[in-house]
Amino acid sequence: MIPYSESNLVYRNRDAIERQQGDTRGFFPDERPIDLHMRLGVINLDKPAGPTSHDVVSMVKRILGIKKAGHSGTLDPQVSGLLPIALSDGTRILQTLLQLPKTYVCNMQVRNSEIDVNWEDFLQTFVGEIYQFPPLESNVVRKLRKRHIYEIRHLDELNNQVLFSVTCESGTYIRTLCEDLGRAAGCGAFMKELRRTQTATFSEEDRVTLHDLFDAWMDYKELGKEEGIRRVVRPIERMVTHLREVIVDVSAIRSVCHGTALGVQGVLAYSEGINAGETVAAKSPKGELIGIGEALVDEIVEGNVFKIQKVVMSRELYA
């Protein structure tokens, strides 16, 4: 399967794409040899409450016996939920996920139950731009910050606890949000429990636990079974599905990997709506991620159109 959407691609040479998919070099992302698959993999990990995000990354490295891995955004120790972890070469593009919106389910405890609040309506007053001071226990400078709340949904209420989901800009402090909600409502409130249910394009539908990872890795190491580890470790292309794309002619891939700007003659297809300065994913005709970089023009008509910034593909793969 080619991990790019043909529905929004503008083709400059469809025949070349189909022809170059038969090139003996390179691999479709789901068909990479297992060692390359593990170097260019990402795990949609379901972090348990208790360990720090750093602890969880260390556990992943110990299980897989690798030296390099990284997560896409810290979760506090007591918070559970999705913590995508990139492996080895995949860590080079982690920044593509760091600034994307995230969704949480929060259980908020109300301090003063005698004050009647219609929480379903009141929550909506916090949708849009808000201002926050980071919590005292955070490790960042405590200065006023502006954040965006995209959506809040009231889910349930029981025993002075309000359950709601919130989709927000990266860097929003849900603990502070609960305190601000309680202060504004006049009843006081604090965050009791929190779970992250979505980060960027990663959702709970295919989440993986540390136990899943350990079992799959043991099946591979002891029995030679690859199915489990391929299920829990997904191709790195999963991390860039939110980006627009440029499909690069195989004759230009090696020079792009070495930092040469991509000219229009090396573009076989591209996503509609690309803007100059936008972060774009460069891919081979087989859908392999070459790397991410900057679009140089609004219209791919002539001249140089793309400049690589982070390379994940081996420079020798298409030698």
Q: What is the pLDDT of residue 4?
A: 45
pLDDT (mean) for 170-187: 95
How many CB atoms lie under 10 A from the CB of residue 141?
7
Q: What is the pLDDT of residue 1?
A: 35
> Which structural domains are found in the chain, ordered by start?
6-30+237-311 (2.30.130.10), 102-199 (3.30.2350.10)
Q: What is the pLDDT of residue 72?
A: 87
Catalytic residue among 15, 46, 76, 121: 76
pLDDT (mean) for 215-222: 97
Residue from 75, 70, 66 nearest 90 by CA: 70
Reported as a single tens digit per residue, the pLDDT across 60-94 is 999 999 999 999 889 999 999 999 999 999 999 99
Q: What is the pLDDT of residue 7?
A: 57
* Cβ within 8 Å of residue 294, ≥6 positions away: 277, 278, 279, 280, 306, 307, 309
- Radius of gyration of the CA atoms of the chain, in A: 22
298 is catalytic: no
Reported as a single tens digit per residue, the pLDDT across 268-302 is 999 999 999 999 999 999 999 999 999 999 988 88
Taking a C-beta distance cutoff of 8 angstroms, is the pair 257, 26 a contact?
A: no
Indicate whether 6 pLDDT > 70.
no
Q: Name the pTM for this structure.
A: 0.91
Only one residue has tokens 């081996």, namely 314
Reported as a single tens digit per residue, the pLDDT across 199-218 is 988 999 999 999 999 999 99
Indicate whether 3 pLDDT > 50.
no
* Cβ within 8 Å of residue 92, ≥6 positions away: 291, 310, 311, 312
Q: What is the mean pLDDT of the chain?
A: 93
